[in-house]
Amino acid sequence: MTKESISSFISRLTVSLLLLLTVAQHAQGQKIFKQEKDSIPFFRGFALSFDLVGPAKLMLSDYGEYEGALRINLHDEWFPVFELGLGHASHVDDEVTNLTYKTTAPYFRLGMDWNIKKQKHGPYRIYAGFRYAFTNYKCDILHEKGLEDHVWNTKSDFGTEGISCYQHWLEGVFGIDASVMGPFHLGWTVRYKRRLFHKEGDIGNSWYVPGFGLNDSDNMSVNFNVIIDI
Q: Where on the phi/psi map is residue 229: left (φ > 0), alpha (ψ -120 to 50), or beta? A: beta
- Which residue(s) pair with 111 in the sheet? 81, 131
Residue 136 CB partners (closer than 8 Å, separation 6+): 105, 164, 165, 166
Decide if 63 contacts 105 (C-beta within 8 A): no
Q: Which helix (H) or strand (E) holds 154?
A: strand 154-181
What pTM was computed for the model?
Answer: 0.78
Chunk the chain into consecutive blocks of 10 residues (it has 230) and report each block's average pLDDT, rounded to whole numbers: 52 55 54 56 94 96 97 96 97 77 96 94 93 96 63 60 94 96 94 94 82 92 95
pLDDT at 148: 56
Would you call 156 exposed, middle or buried from its count of C-beta atoms within 10 A (0-12, 13-18, 19+)?
Answer: exposed
Q: pLDDT, tens digit, for every residue of 40-58?
A: 888 999 999 999 999 999 9
Dihedral of the CA atoms 206, 209, 64, 225 (nearest 10)?
-160
Residue 59 neighbours by CB distance under 10 Å: 7
